[in-house]
Amino acid sequence: MAHDLVIVANRLPVDRVTDKDGEVSWRPSPGGLVTAIEPVMRAGDGVWIGWPGGTEQHLEPFEADGLHLVPLSMTQEEIEEHYEGFSNATLWPLYHDVVAKPEFHREWWDRYVKVNRRFAEKAAELAAESATVWVHDYQLQLVPQMLRELRPDLRIGFYLHIPFPPAELFAQLPWRRQILEGLLGADLVGFQLPGAAQNFVRLVRQRVGHRTHRDLVYLPDGREVRAAAFPISIDAAGFEELARSPEVAERAKAIREALGNPRKIFLGIDRLDYTKGIYARLRAFGELIRDEHLSVEDAVFVQVAVPSREQVEQYRILRDDIDRLVGRLNGDLGRIGRPAISYLHSSYPREEMAALYRAADIMVVTPYRDGMNLVAKEYVACRIEEDGALVLSEFAGAADELRQAWLVNPYDINGMKAALLESYRAQPKELGRRMRAMRKQISQHDVKAWADSFMTELAHERHD
């Protein structure tokens, strides 16, 4: 069956759940992407191609919640070399300012090409005549060009959810030209920030030699490719509704009580990733307690670290480092029943996250580099009393929109300490002024507006 809209992403928007009797079912994945694209898919007779996780082969297309899903399988070697290798140990660190050192292996690249080709071939097979195909993220940057060669009739959009690096860093990549040419298969290439789109156009001019003007690239075959920023967002109304529910309000109260009703709760919620700056923020908080600017009676830091990519060596090292730091800080600074840091290495459903957002007085989001960071926006959406403070890294894409946060340089520990203290001491009037402005921003620019603006722009791109 041919479809007018094909979504191509590394993962399907569902997770496999096996019950006690061994019955397999699928539940929607947490995450903004599904919320954003679901209405677009329903309106456009859409199908979603992605990997369901695991190594099971020969999976059949299926429906979940009325969405048409087509699973693409991966072998163990493909998971290791395409996903854990090239995607997450080469591209991820390179695109995040080389916070960790990227590894360059030719066999990883070969596997990346092979997996991208399989995604492109499946999209070509499922797309109707002149259909729209929307390809997502860094794992699939070669798909647009491969798809263009197979199906020149298609309208192709690509969206990069993570940062796009400056020319000096991108130039390290041995396959830099192939990646740029891969992306140029799209009619519209979307980024989180205007600076990323400019980086891309500049690199195309320097490394591929095409003529460019502002946000347009002119290809020799007469096609034009546009690169532009479309900052992603969240289902703001959905989070607000959740935060207003009596169950979440009760749970938020219970969380505060379980923590001993401190004067202020600081909160961090991140994937356990070296780009997120978790170690530095906990160190900053520990120093504030040590130097008696704060006390464990008045303040506690709740850090949720969601397990992530545990097969990748650098992630295992980071987990051990943070475990040791938390143990040391609690051993040195905590009292019986009053740890300085309440550390949770686990993932939680949206309801529990909303309760944590409502319970916390100060949300601390301090990545070294982040495409957007939706946690910052989720916190703001859940502050229905228009109180609470957001301490936010200026290197998160969200800092462009949430200007009323306390913006910090996560490499500057003293600056971070000053912001934590300032937000802790801020008066209710000041907190209300800042939070109202941020809430207005995210309610006006929610995830639906993001998807609509990308699809509208893609529909208008000239397509020869």
Is residue 464 predicted with pLDDT exceeding 60?
Answer: no
Collapse the DSSP code of 104 into the 3-class scheme (helix H, G, I; strand E, B; otherwise coil) and give the result.
coil
pLDDT-derived band of residue 16, with 50, 70 and 90 as boundaries?
A: confident
Integer Cα distance of 236 and 123 in angstroms: 31
Q: Are residues 350 and 414 in the same domain?
A: yes
Q: Are residues 280 and 419 in the same domain?
A: yes
| Mean pLDDT, residues 93-115 | 97
14 contacts: CB under 8 Å, gap ≥ 6: 26, 27, 28, 29, 52, 64, 69
pLDDT of residue 32: 60
Q: Are residues 140 and 76 in the same domain?
A: yes
What is the identity of the amino acid at 379? Y
CB 286 within 8 A of CB 329: yes
Q: Are residues 68 and 174 in the same domain?
A: yes
pLDDT of residue 23: 82
CB 386 within 8 A of CB 434: no
| Mean pLDDT, residues 254-276 | 96
Least confidently predicted of 16-30, 177-191, 255-269, 379-393:
16-30
Is residue 235 predicted with pLDDT exceeding 80?
Answer: yes
Q: Are residues 191 and 278 in the same domain?
A: no
| Mean pLDDT, residues 295-312 | 92
| Mean pLDDT, residues 329-355 | 95
| Mean pLDDT, residues 317-341 | 96
Q: Are residues 133 and 40 in the same domain?
A: yes
What's the domain count of the chain? 2
pLDDT of residue 424: 98
Q: Are residues 245 and 390 in the same domain?
A: yes
Q: What is the CATH number of the domain that holds 39?
A: 3.40.50.2000
pLDDT-derived band of residue 17, with 50, 70 and 90 as boundaries?
A: confident
Alpha-carbon Rg for the chain, nearest whole angstrom, is 23
Is residue 142 predicted with pLDDT exceeding 80?
Answer: yes
Q: Are residues 77 and 63 in the same domain?
A: yes
pLDDT of residue 201: 98
Which of 64, 65, 58, 68 lies closest to 1 in space, CA to CA?
68
pLDDT of residue 65: 81
Q: Are residues 303 and 421 in the same domain?
A: yes
Residue range of the domain that includes 405: 236-444
pLDDT of residue 463: 54
Mean pLDDT of the chain: 94
Q: Are residues 212 and 302 in the same domain?
A: no
pLDDT-derived band of residue 67, with 50, 70 and 90 as boundaries?
A: confident
Q: Are residues 376 and 452 in the same domain?
A: no
Least confidently predicted of 43-52, 88-97, 419-428:
43-52
Q: 427: phi > 0 → left, psi -120 to 50 → alpha, else beta; which?
A: beta
Residue % of the chain over a pLDDT of 90: 86
Could you tell me whether strands 24-28 and 14-18 are parallel, antiparallel, or unpaired per DSSP bridges? antiparallel
Q: Are residues 82 and 94 in the same domain?
A: yes
Our CA angle for 426, 233, 193, nearest 5°, is 90
> Could you count the other beta carbons within 10 Å of the beta carbon of residue 136?
22
